[in-house]
Amino acid sequence: MMGFGIGRMGLAFRGPRPVPSWVAPGAAFHIKPAAGWAWINGREYTSFAALVADPTAASFSRPSECYALTSAGTFTRFDSDVPAITDLGLLVEPEETGLGLRGITQSEGPQSATRATVQTNVSGPFGLTGCRITADGTSGSHSRSNTLATIVSGKTYLIYVIVEDSSGDYFQLVAGSSGFGTGVYANFDLLGNGFAGTKGANTITSGIVELCPRRFLVWLSATATGSASTGVTFAIVPSISSTRLASSLSTSAFTISAVQVSEATRWGSPIDTGETVPDIRVGVSLSVKPPSDTYNISVKFGDGTADQFLSGQVVGGGGWACPATLNGRFVTDIIGVTA
């Protein structure tokens, strides 16, 4: 029964609160992490922190640090169990083990290169952690390598790199021959919005994502043919269809800010590995706790991914566990409608 009471500020309404205007029509619950709004169990929360602090409404954990992308193409560090929320949304991703040495701190460690100079402490998406490699203009291949941990024969690996076009066009990512043979590489055009070019015969997939103008995340995947401590090489090549470590007279330059190797099937947020590997970024666990029922749930993303629809989700007393392997990485809305 609704009730009324007199408080210090006058008449106080104690009945159910009206549904806020921002809630999707017909929604039993609506969570907006980046905006800081949530509506669930007839209650409104004005921050994501307040929502997950209420054990009757939701729970969140990620017991490791992470780096979350912003719309400006930079990465923000979040401590263990702090929700990684940027202007793109709440970062939701599964566990991943980073195998590459110095995953983010590319300015540390050996800085040798082939027919190229290396400048350290270059500003990039993580601050002064990048290194710039510049081809010296002599005839031959121009590259720098980064040593990895042991690769196991028969396993498939994903290699991804954050690269910025300082003064060049064509970038090549090469997997070390000691672990992958000579057929694993991929070419990328870093002009405009960027696009992937030709790849080696043993490269399974390659791709490119523009983080901001002239800054890209590029990747390739391949199956190891040998168990070895191998390397990733960043090369400056003359065309989008260049062969492996093709020769040129280039004076182009690129900035490398991160490199990651893992057994993941898609790229995630970079892992700050050091001189010993592997290092693990623990997956996100997010549960929302509406009344037990069956719901059709829509998830919206801020990273350009199309909406994802999860129909017939049966929710019991433990709540609904948001999958860590959603189609997108950055969640802006979770909307539940009774089925």
Q: What is the pLDDT of residues 226-236, one digit of tens each?
A: 999 999 999 99
Query: pLDDT means per 10 residues in the chain (339 residues)?
Result: 41 60 97 96 96 97 96 96 97 95 86 94 92 96 87 96 92 96 97 96 97 96 95 96 97 95 94 89 97 98 97 96 97 98
Predicted local distance difference test score (pLDDT) of residue 13: 35
Model confidence over 262-280: pLDDT tens digits?
Answer: 999 999 999 999 888 889 9
Which H or E element spans position 32?
strand 29-32
Q: What is the model's pTM?
A: 0.90
Predicted local distance difference test score (pLDDT) of residue 8: 37
How far, in Å, are 98, 102, 157, 274 from residue 271 at the CA level?
6, 9, 15, 9
Asked if 164 and 171 count as a contact pair (C-beta separation under 8 A), the reply is no
Tokens 């729970």 — which residue?
A: 59
According to DSSP, residue 306 is labeled P
Predicted local distance difference test score (pLDDT) of residue 7: 42
Predicted local distance difference test score (pLDDT) of residue 12: 40
